[in-house]
Amino acid sequence: MSEALLTAWRACRDAVERAARGRHVTLVAVSKSRPAAQVRALAALGQRDFGENYLGEALAKMADCADLALCWHVIGPLQSNKAAQVAERFDWLHSLDRPKLLAALAGRRPPQRPPLNVLVQVNIDAESSKSGCAPEQVSALAAAVATTAGLRLRGLMAIPDPALDPARPGGAFERMQALFAALQYSMPGIDTLSMGMSDDFPAAIARGATMVRIGSAVFGPRAARVGPAPSDA
């Protein structure tokens, strides 16, 4: 396996640790469009959490890696007709953003598995192109997740608009930190704020991220995607 991949992963892990200043921050390696062999190579180093956007691709990779004890995260938009497969197979869902999806997940978690960990995705910069609920909808949606059997509400996720500098004072990271703190006040059980990607994860961690999703900084630049549209997730 390429030495470059291992070096890049170590550098990211170290940078996450430095930014975390003694807190625990989970590094989710975003393995979309990467082969199972690269997942295996990182797993051998101790990387446990992997994020995927496209359900078909993810399920094939998970089958390839079924002998490894890994933790699989759905981080991309999810169609409700595919929600049951996510409930059956994955460990985390970062993109719960509407009641309809909740209805499609309800009752689908196999009883022998621990609950599916769920994050409510917030469209923090109100981008028309992005999924996620409005900040005003967070508390109602969070409450609904918390009372759905088979799901465990863990916190919030966001993908800020990079053009608006999420790290600036009053920017997306700061607003997410405040939203998370407010939710945690009414729901002390939540513990996860998923924000920060290759280009901005140290700033996200400085604003309270407990989970970062890193793709290209670990695996190198992604080739343009071929095949089904992103809504395939």
Ligand X SMILES: *Cc1c(COP(=O)(O)O)cnc(C)c1O
Q: Which residues bind ligand X (CB under 6 A)?
A: 30, 32, 53, 75-76, 159, 197-198, 213-217
Q: Which of 108, 61, 58, 53 is nearest to 79 (CA)?
A: 53
Paired residues of 117 in beta bridges: 92, 152
Nearer to ligand X by C-beta: 30 or 83?
Answer: 30
Paired residues of 26 in beta bridges: 211
Residue 198 C-beta: closest distance to ligand X, Å = 3
Nearer to ligand X by C-beta: 150 or 208?
Answer: 208
Q: C-alpha 121: how far from its chain's center? A: 9
Residue 34, CA atoms < 13 Å, CB-side half-sphere? 26
Nearer to ligand X by C-beta: 66 or 226?
Answer: 226
Q: Report which residue type is found at 111.
A: P
Residue 189 C-beta: closest distance to ligand X, Å = 24
Nearer to ligand X by C-beta: 30 or 43?
Answer: 30
Q: Diameter of the chain by CA atoms?
A: 47
Nearer to ligand X by C-beta: 79 or 143?
Answer: 79
Closest-approach residue to ligand X (CB): 215
Nearer to ligand X by C-beta: 110 or 162?
Answer: 162
Residue 149 C-beta: closest distance to ligand X, Å = 27
Q: How, if at all, do strands 116-122 and 192-194 pair?
A: unpaired
The tokens describing 76, both together, are 């991309």
Give yes or no for a contact between 31 and 54, defined as CB atoms under 8 angstroms apart.
no
Residue 67 C-beta: closest distance to ligand X, Å = 26
Distances 145 to 110, 115, 179, 198, 225 between C-alpha atoms, Å: 17, 11, 17, 29, 32
Residue 205 C-beta: closest distance to ligand X, Å = 14
Residue 77 C-beta: closest distance to ligand X, Å = 9
Containing H/E element for 43? helix 36-45
